[in-house]
């Protein structure tokens, strides 16, 4: 009975791993070889391929096919560490950052992959009669020490990649709120959701490796967890429209170019703009915004405001941050909320609340309600019900 039970478990693990591998390979082909393709699509496809190779390697072990396809299993261990830097590179495409193979994450991963070659070398150095015993050791505790080292280093690489991605996302958000007034086109919410999913995957995997036998985590629990995570990743990529065409990616780059790392002018010290000049400029900014109504442009950027006022972008940014104690995003949304309050008082009988939000410069109902609540502590509906309001 025990033998039948173990055979049943092994078959289920084989079916799970090979099924997931085939699904991921189909997605890889769909994303990597699509027409008018873009770099983010290809990096996402390589993430899927990297995971598919790992599952195929697992399937050779739990299905008893190691002797027929040993090097597929070894390949999976040489490529398993690439998940971290591929994920980090994917985030860089969405945050206006650049990354090359000279980045420390890639260098460490390449070294880890080279170290993975010790597994097939170890296998080839064994006498032929001992090779079946090596294959059996891949399903028991402890796993070969090389696999344990690769697992440990791989988890550290993913943790480091996740931390680096969080830093990139936060830096990107800081650049955005100081340069644009519309976050919807920037995919910022997608970036944070993607990073959160990988963080959850990393933490959960680390816990599983601590409390459960390593071979069970590798061949059973991790595939199940990754399946769940990838389901959400694919859901978010489609709902946030991040499976780009060449045209849509070009528009995305144009919309976010102002917040890319290479376009941001290094922040000048406050001493380079005298305090008195900043005070005068702060008042001038308020007057210009009020008189021109330029803030009602839902896609207004700091460059457009600087051009309209005929001053430099860095001087404008410094004044807003240091003198007015605000980000560009908050300043513009504050003006939009003030405009919306006037419209609510004068046109609520003629326009819907959503239409008032659009006229004030907000690009969606959600952004209107969020900003109004932030600057007034009330939703537009609650504001209308206050004493003295129409």
Q: What are 126-145's pLDDT values in tens digits?
A: 898 888 888 888 877 777 88
Q: Lowest-pLDDT range, 108-112, 196-200, 274-278?
A: 274-278
> How confident is residue 223, by pLDDT bands cut at 50, 70 and 90?
confident
pLDDT (average), residues 321-350: 91
The tens digit of pLDDT for each residue in 11-30 reads 678 888 898 899 999 999 99
Q: Which residues contact 7 (CB under 8 A, 6 or more apart)?
A: none
Name the pLDDT band for 1 (thresholds 50, 70, 90). Answer: very low
Helix axis angle, 353-360 to 328-347, nearest 10°: 140
Structure tokens at 161: 């990649």
Using a pLDDT cut of 70, give the percent of the chain over it. Answer: 93
Q: What's the pTM?
A: 0.86
Architecture of the 2-257 domain: Up-down Bundle (1.20)
pLDDT band at 262 (very low <50, low <70, confident <90, very high): low
pLDDT over 90 (residue 278): no
* CATH class held by domain 340-390: mainly alpha
- State pLDDT tens for residues 368-387: 999 999 999 989 988 888 77
Residues 142-189 pLDDT 10s: 778 888 888 889 889 999 999 999 999 999 999 999 999 988 888 999
């Amino acid at each position: 009975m025990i033998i039948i039970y173990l055979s049943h478990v092994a078959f289920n693990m084989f079916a799970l791993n090979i099924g997931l591998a085939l699904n991921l390979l189909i997605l890889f082909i769909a994303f990597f070889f699509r027409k008018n393709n873009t770099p983010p699509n290809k990096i996402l496809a390589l993430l899927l391929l990297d995971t598919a190779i790992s599952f195929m390697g697992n399937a050779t072990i739990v299905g008893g096919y190691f002797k027929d396809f040993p090097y597929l299993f070894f390949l999976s261990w040489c490529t398993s560490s690439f998940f971290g830097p591929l994920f980090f590179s994917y985030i860089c495409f969405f945050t206006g950052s650049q990354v090359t193979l000279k980045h420390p994450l890639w260098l460490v991963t390449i070294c880890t992959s080279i170290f993975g070659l010790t597994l097939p070398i170890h296998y080839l150095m064994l006498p032929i009669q001992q090779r079946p015993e090596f294959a059996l050791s891949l399903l028991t505790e402890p796993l070969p020490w090389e696999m344990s080292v690769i697992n440990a280093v791989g988890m550290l690489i993913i943790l480091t990649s996740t931390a680096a991605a969080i830093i990139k996302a936060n830096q990107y958000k800081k650049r955005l709120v100081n340069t644009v007034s519309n976050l919807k086109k920037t995919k910022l919410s997608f970036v944070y959701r993607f990073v959160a999913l990988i963080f959850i995957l990393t933490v959960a995997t680390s816990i599983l490796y601590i409390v459960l036998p390593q071979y069970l985590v590798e061949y059973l629990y991790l595939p199940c967890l990754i399946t769940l995570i990838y389901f959400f990743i694919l859901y978010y990529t489609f709902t946030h429209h991040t499976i780009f065409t060449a045209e849509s990616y070009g528009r995305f780059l144009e919309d976010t170019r102002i917040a890319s790392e290479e376009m941001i002018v290094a922040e000048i010290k406050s001493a380079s703009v005298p305090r008195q000049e900043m005070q005068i400029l702060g008042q001038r900014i308020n007057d210009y915004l009020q008189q021109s109504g330029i803030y009602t442009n839902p896609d207004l950027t700091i460059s457009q405001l600087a051009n309209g006022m005929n001053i430099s972008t860095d001087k404008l940014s410094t004044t807003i941050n240091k003198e007015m104690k605000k980000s560009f995003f908050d300043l513009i949304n504050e003006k939009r909320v003030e405009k919306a309050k006037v419209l609510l008082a004068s046109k609520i009988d003629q326009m819907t609340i959503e239409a008032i939000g659009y006229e004030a410069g907000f690009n969606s109902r959600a952004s209107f309600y969020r900003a109004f609540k932030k600057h007034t502590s009330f939703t537009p509906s609650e504001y209308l019900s206050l004493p003295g309001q129409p």
